[in-house]
Amino acid sequence: MELVFIKDEEKELTTSLKVAKKFGKNHKDVLRDVDRLDCSVEFKVKNYEETSYVDVKGRKQKMYEMTVGGWNSGNSNKSTLSKFNEGGR
């Protein structure tokens, strides 16, 4: 699974759902971590966009799209950062 996708032909992004799946985490824990980030409102608005997806039961569920900068700020694990920077390979 590719971790990174391109939006609007310029932004490299991932989603909280892709991060959870790629690294074997519960999506609710990734959402919690994003919600608890200790950063400015301006930084969060620039790097995290709350959006949604439809789950297998047809329910609309919360997720985030996040930039490389946002991912880097919220994750100190170097191996996962390098995977993001390499496009999730």
What confidence score (pLDDT) does residue 72 get? 63
CB 64 within 8 A of CB 16: yes
Q: What is the pTM of this model?
A: 0.72
pLDDT on residue 14? 87
Which pLDDT belongs to residue 75? 61
From the list 15, 34, 29, the residue with the least C-alpha distance to 73 is 34
All domains in the chain, ordered by first residue: 5-70 (1.10.10)
Query: What H or E segment, with its residue span, contains residue 13?
Result: strand 11-15
The predicted structure's pLDDT at residue 1: 57
Report the C-alpha gap between 7 and 74 in whole angstroms: 21
Residues in the chain: 89
**The pLDDT of residue 65:** 92
Segments in the chain below pLDDT 50:
77-82, 84-85, 87-89
SS3 29: helix
